[in-house]
Structure 1
């Protein structure tokens, strides 16, 4: 099953922009007003509140985890099936699936045009790049004639004329949390088992650097909105580790609790929200001062964080 938030609460008046925070302890989704940092409502979710409301049967696509909402559709990983899939809320169907061939395809990032997908494959220690391409016909084999690929004739409207290619890049052990820089040039991933950070140059699709960051049990990694800093959380370390993206050197460590998971950037208010699971709160970090300025009680064991934008 995959759980998907389709509405906050019909009876509740919510702001245009609402912070969503999942509590593992109470299996609830808290909706938070970002202007006051007050909880507006708590909604029940399923037994695994990393993933939230209502149930969608994914069939053989077992072990769904990473979620992205792009182009009006929900893109998700299926760890057990070694695949990425897409769900259309309008038709209530899964309309696209692609296998990765990698073990435990965990997190994903979908570009705004939905033409590229990046995944971390934890047990394989790889990053996958899936790219939509236009298929071409087989090259000409006539004697003396150059092999020129010809475009495939347009397919009927009911069919997609697009194919997908995959590039697999080896990184560190246990890569999980990752992000793509705002300029789209680099992908940084935190490798939870060996404590390193891998930086991939997306133009060449090669590892440009491996940093011995010593961030063991790393969980999530996010660029700040300006792309200058990189935030990394660890499930077993109470520090939020901050790297300078340009120099690729550690910039600061901010004490936030006893361990942390989800990170959500707020580009409007210049802050970050960090789910401090063992401490039962979400920490608010000022992006200019790089200091904790507050805490939000969303329920015990906070984990996943996201924005809900009311249309």
Structure 2
């Protein structure tokens, strides 16, 4: 009888442990949020807005992206351009994996995942790089020669890279191009070859946040110094418009999935600026909290999530009513991303 009771008591904590683990498992669709203060990646249930797990990352995390299969996250460890790591997280097991040393590319910051690879800006090296998880190697890099190459977007086929160069006040468009040498008068000549070509476009001072419209036609970026939004025609590779939004301290910029609206955060004022993408008119200016930074939008465009670094939370915005409807406690909240497992 004593032995049976002992076995019963031993079983109880095991049942609770198993139940707890199941309840906290990573859902197929999860919200990822970085804490710059605690140096962790929070895995959040986007339905309940509960933090399910906190996984340690490097010493100065800024941006996060998930792989296409939603199983792995990559975090840039920035250090103002001086550090050289990407933290890697197993999102299913909720544990850190071995870090990736980006040297000689220094100061990784902006991140995206396209064409099966991790693309990142390397501010300290005035460059961008690409890491292939399948081979565990860096397979491409290109210098911009521009000061503070900071945020990055990449086309889905990996043929076009867009970066903001904050201090230079420019946008770089890097294009994988087919170069056709001139033929000689008698014919012949060297064969055509692939090479990457850079186009540098001047934009507003301090332009940092960047996004490409869902139809791939326009690139928008907002300048922190004067709060001016610059609009680039991607096909023409030239500046076609400016909006004096007075979004001073502009930090991040994001299109809604339908391409109809553009969201801009201000690190200085904590405001979220909401613009009509066609008319270029301001729809609303909403204060979300101190240090508004990272932006993430639901696929259906119903909600936006704003990392408010100074107020230690992620603000949840209803994009239909344009109101703050909740907060998720994250100390020093900044970079945000979706992780979706098929």
Q: TM-score, normalised by structure 2?
A: 0.80
Cα distance in 2, alignment partners of residues 31 and 74 from structure 1: 20
Give 1:16's aligned residue: 28
How many residues are matched? 289
Give 1:40's aligned residue: 52
Q: After TM superposition, give the deviation of residue 301 of structure 1 in Å.
A: 0.7
Cα distance in 1, alignment partners of residues 290 and 102 from structure 2: 35
Q: After TM superposition, give the deviation of residue 162 of structure 1 in Å.
A: 2.9
- Structure 2 residue corresponding to 1:205, chosen from 214, 232, 237: 237
Q: After TM superposition, give the deviation of residue 208 of structure 1 in Å.
A: 1.1
SS in 2 for 1:80: helix
> Residues 118-137 of structure 1: matches in 2 within 5 Å?
118-136=162-180
Cα distance in 2, alignment partners of residues 310 and 40 from structure 1: 16
Q: After TM superposition, give the deviation of residue 258 of structure 1 in Å.
A: 2.3
Runs of 4+ in 1 over 4 A off after TM superposition: 148-151
Cα distance in 2, alignment partners of residues 66 and 238 from structure 1: 21
Cα distance in 1, alignment partners of residues 287 and 166 from structure 2: 27
Note the residue ranges of structure 2 that are not aligned, 5 or more in a row. Answer: 1-20, 63-75, 77-86, 89-97
Alpha carbons of 1:142 and 1:253: their partners in 2 closer, same or farther (altered >3 Å)?
Answer: same
Cα distance in 2, alignment partners of residues 224 and 128 from structure 1: 23
Q: After TM superposition, give the deviation of residue 165 of structure 1 in Å.
A: 1.0
SS in 2 for 1:183: coil
Q: After TM superposition, give the deviation of residue 150 of structure 1 in Å.
A: 7.2
Q: Do the aligned residues in 1 keep the contact of 2:257 with 2:300 (CA within 8 Å)?
A: no
Give 1:162's aligned residue: 194
Give 2:288's aligned residue: 256
Q: After TM superposition, give the deviation of residue 151 of structure 1 in Å.
A: 4.7
Give 1:117's aligned residue: 161
Cα distance in 1, alignment partners of residues 236 and 185 from structure 2: 34
Alpha carbons of 1:149 and 1:33: their partners in 2 closer, same or farther (altered >3 Å)?
Answer: farther
CA RMSD of aligned residues (A): 1.8
Cα distance in 1, alignment partners of residues 290 and 301 from structure 2: 26
Cα distance in 2, alignment partners of residues 268 and 151 from structure 1: 47
- Is 1:26 the counterpart of 2:69 in the alignment? no
Q: After TM superposition, give the deviation of residue 259 of structure 1 in Å.
A: 2.6
> Residues 58-97 of structure 1: matches in 2 within 5 Å?
58-97=102-141
Q: After TM superposition, give the deviation of residue 82 of structure 1 in Å.
A: 1.1
SS in 1 for 2:61: coil
> Residues 41-56 of structure 1: matches in 2 within 5 Å?
41-50=53-62, 51=76, 52-53=87-88, 54-56=98-100
SS in 2 for 1:162: strand
Q: Do the aligned residues in 1 keep the contact of 2:129 with 2:141 (CA within 8 Å)?
A: yes
CA offsets, 1:79-100, max 9 Å, x none? 1111111001122111111111
Q: After TM superposition, give the deviation of residue 310 of structure 1 in Å.
A: 2.4
Give 1:5's aligned residue: none
Structure showing greater Rg: 2
- Structure 2 residue corresponding to 1:265, chosen from 297, 304, 315: 297
Note the residue ranges of structure 1 that are not aligned, 5 or more in a row. Answer: 1-9, 153-160
CA offsets, 1:99-119, max 9 Å, x none? 112111110100111111111
Cα distance in 2, alignment partners of residues 227 and 55 from structure 1: 35
Give 1:246's aligned residue: 278
Q: After TM superposition, give the deviation of residue 194 of structure 1 in Å.
A: 2.0
Q: After TM superposition, give the deviation of residue 307 of structure 1 in Å.
A: 0.9
